[in-house]
């Protein structure tokens, strides 16, 4: 599992999109953006991954997930749970009906829910989910006439590839029962554990004993973007847990799956140390450190670094500006952005469009951003930078975020939020929404650039609706004088 860490705008999503382009028709791959998919469940995400991994790929043909599909079929059944024998017969009957690959594809698509609609390419708003799924059906169409009986795979749920002697139908009825009450956390964990095991068992079977097993030298790949959400962390940690359990019971068995994960730092916040720091322009290793503890076999952790002065200088030279001092522009860009990759790129693109303003960065920030075909509406350069650095931030909390940005240290911001009466929102809003933005888990120039843009907004306030610059900094100075703290 490769985990690439960096703040907003450090290039993580661009990295995953680029990997998807390289992987296409070379190995089976799938993509999920957890930030766009906050209300899905782990089973739905697994269904979406199985659906995408099932697309026909050269050399690999079509990957099948029959064991996993058995579980998803049973979860959808309306079983008579008051009569166990009848419920078992209902399971058997339901599985016997599913006898071809087209049905299997439909099962994966339907059980993916909204998770299926998250792809690493922009989808116009007029495209409905049904149209999108129809397109995906075309892309994943299997050869006609292929048949598969799901009933022949249900036995796995009894032994799960190990020395277990459970009755498979009993386990599947239990799975249906757990599905009836997913508000129970224990039930959700049982479901996730069982489906992860089935998903990995299907993959391992095809890479070890499938018809083309001898030709499959590369793993399939899942690209997991924005994995710091609650669902993302549940999903990634579930994969690690499933692998640990398989390693403990099936020694020597390695599942043929590579996960490439993008995180802003919260995912592995409790894991000490880092493996490598990568240069954003060429991917070269800048720094490597050894990690303490026994987690090395499960994570390979990479941090996407900020741009150096030399790297920014190379980007400035590539603009081929006919006038002005490139060295001065390089230093100005570095001082403003701290080397934040997305901000540097946008700034230089704006300068290339209006080179006459190259030495007046405040003018550049207030001009309209360069036009692109995918934009629905143009913003100023500063507004676009702030949007990229904040993401989907609640509008009703934005004024309080701007106010708190006046604090240079975290404890000053906490006191401002808890004691100043300058914020419109509650203390809970600060803790849950504002604090993670101002003091993110992944350090880097993004946090510095974000604060500078917010302070620019604070400086423009007239105090009529929100606290002005003088009011906020006046409170901070008075508080620090009273407490003997340095402002």
For residue range 230-264, what is the model confidence (pLDDT) as tens digits?
999 999 999 999 988 888 877 666 789 999 999 99
Tell me the per-residue pLDDT of 45-66, one tens digit each, with 9 for 90 and over.
999 999 999 888 888 888 889 8
Distance between CA atoms of residues 314 and 486, nearest Å: 39
The SS3 assignment for 302 reads strand
Query: pTM for this one?
Result: 0.80
Give the three-class secondary structure for 316: helix
User: Residue 190: its pLDDT value, please?
Assistant: 95
Quote the percentage of the chain above a pLDDT of 70: 83
Long-range contacts of 160-167 (CB under 8 A, 24+ apart): 160/197, 160/201, 161/201, 161/250, 162/249, 162/250
Structure-block tokens of residue 47: 């269904």
Instruction: List pLDDT tens digits, range 414-447.
Output: 999 999 999 999 999 999 999 999 998 777 899 9
Least confident interval from 79-88, 298-307, 395-404, 419-428? 298-307
- Under the banding of pLDDT at 50, 70 and 90, the label for residue 285 is low
> pLDDT higher for 113 or 220?
220
Which carries the bigger pLDDT value, residue 111 or residue 278? 111
Tokens (6 digits) for 284:
């070269």
Strand order in 276-278's β-sheet? Answer: 29-33, 220-225, 257-263, 2-5, 300-304, 276-278, 285-288
What are the pLDDT digits (tens) for 77-118?
999 999 999 999 999 888 877 655 556 767 788 888 777 765
The distance of Cα 243 from the centroid of its chain, to the nearest Å, equals 20
Provide the pLDDT for residue 273: 59
Residue 274: per-residue pLDDT? 56
Mean of the per-residue pLDDT values of the chain: 84
Residue 30, pLDDT score? 94
| CB count in 10 Å sphere of residue 152 | 13
Largest CA distance in the chain: 84
Per-residue pLDDT band for 212 (boundaries 50, 70, 90) equals: low
The residue among 52, 72, 46 whose CA lies nearest residue 220 is 52
Q: Give 237's contacts (C-beta < 8 A, 6+ positions apart).
A: none
232 to 32, 68, 262, 389, 437: CA distances (angstroms): 9, 20, 10, 20, 18
Q: State how far the Cα of 475 lies from the Cα of 420, in Å rounded to an integer.
A: 7
pLDDT of residue 210: 63
Q: What is the pLDDT of residues 121-167, one digit of tens each?
A: 433 333 334 433 443 343 333 333 344 456 568 889 998 888 788 89
Those residues whose C-beta lies under 8 Å from the C-beta of residue 108, and which sit 6 or more positions away, are 47, 48, 50, 51, 54, 65, 69, 72
Contacts (Cβ under 8 Å, ≥6 apart) of 307: 280, 281, 315, 334, 339, 340, 341, 344
Q: How confident is the model at residue 301 (pLDDT cuts 50, 70, 90)?
A: confident
Residue 101's pLDDT is 53
Query: So what's the pLDDT on residue 131?
Result: 36
Q: Where are the alpha helices (DSSP H) in 141-299?
A: 156-159, 168-179, 185-208, 230-249
Predicted pLDDT of residue 355:
92
Give the separation between CA 330 and CA 159, rounded to whole angstroms: 63
**Neighbour tally for 300: CB within 10 Å:** 14
> Given this model, what pLDDT does residue 374 score?
72
User: pLDDT tens across 315-357, in order?
Assistant: 999 999 988 899 999 999 999 999 999 999 999 999 999 999 8
Residues 128, 139: contact at Cβ < 8 Å? no
């Amino acid at each position: 599992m490769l985990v690439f860490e960096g703040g907003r705008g450090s290039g993580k999503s661009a990295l995953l999109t680029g990997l998807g382009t390289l992987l296409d028709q070379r190995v089976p791959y799938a993509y999920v953006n957890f930030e766009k998919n906050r209300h899905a469940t782990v089973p739905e995400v697994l269904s979406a991954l199985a659906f995408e991994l099932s697309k026909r790929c050269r050399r690999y043909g079509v990957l099948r997930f029959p064991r996993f599909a058995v579980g998803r079929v049973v979860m959808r059944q309306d079983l008579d749970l008051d009569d166990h024998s009848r419920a078992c017969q209902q399971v058997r009957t339901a599985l016997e009906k599913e006898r071809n690959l087209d049905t299997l594809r439909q099962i994966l698509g339907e059980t993916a829910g909204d998770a299926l609609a998250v792809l690493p390419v922009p989808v116009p708003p007029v495209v409905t989910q049904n149209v999108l799924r129809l397109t995906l059906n075309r892309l994943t169409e299997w050869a006609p006439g292929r048949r598969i009986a799901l009933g022949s795979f249900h036995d796995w749920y009894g032994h799960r590839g190990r020395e277990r002697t459970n009755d498979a139908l009993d386990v599947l009825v239990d799975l249906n029962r757990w599905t009836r009450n997913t508000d129970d956390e224990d039930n959700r964990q049982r479901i996730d554990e069982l489906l992860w095991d089935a998903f990995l068992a299907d993959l391992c079977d095809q890479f070890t004993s499938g018809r083309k097993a001898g030709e499959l030298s590369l793993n399939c790949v899942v690209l997991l973007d924005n994995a710091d959400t609650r669902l993302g962390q549940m999903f990634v940690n579930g994969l690690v847990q499933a692998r640990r359990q398989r390693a403990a019971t099936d020694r020597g068995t390695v599942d043929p799956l590579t996960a490439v994960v993008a995180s802003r730092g919260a995912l592995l916040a409790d894991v000490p140390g880092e493996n490598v720091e990568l240069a954003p322009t060429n991917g070269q290793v800048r720094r490597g450190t050894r990690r303490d503890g026994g987690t090395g076999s499960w994570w390979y952790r990479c941090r996407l670094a900020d741009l150096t002065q030399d790297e920014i200088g190379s980007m400035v030279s590539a603009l081929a500006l006919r006038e002005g001092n490139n060295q001065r522009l390089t230093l100005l860009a570095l001082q403003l952005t701290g080397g934040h990759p997305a901000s540097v790129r946008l700034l230089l693109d704006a300068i290339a469009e209006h080179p006459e303003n190259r030495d007046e960065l405040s003018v550049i920030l207030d001009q309209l951003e360069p036009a692109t075909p995918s934009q629905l509406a143009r913003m100023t350069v500063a507004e676009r930078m702030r949007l990229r650095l904040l993401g989907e931030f609640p509008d009703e909390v934005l004024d309080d975020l701007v106010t708190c940005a006046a604090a240079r240290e975290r404890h000053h911001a906490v006191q401002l939020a808890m004691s100043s009466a300058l914020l419109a929102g509650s203390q809970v809003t600060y803790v849950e929404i504002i604090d993670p933005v101002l003091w993110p888990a992944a350090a880097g120039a993004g946090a510095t650039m974000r604060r500078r843009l917010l302070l620019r907004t604070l400086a423009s306030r007239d105090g009529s609706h929100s606290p002005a610059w003088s009011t906020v900094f006046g409170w901070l100075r008075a508080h620090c004088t009273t407490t003997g703290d340095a402002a």
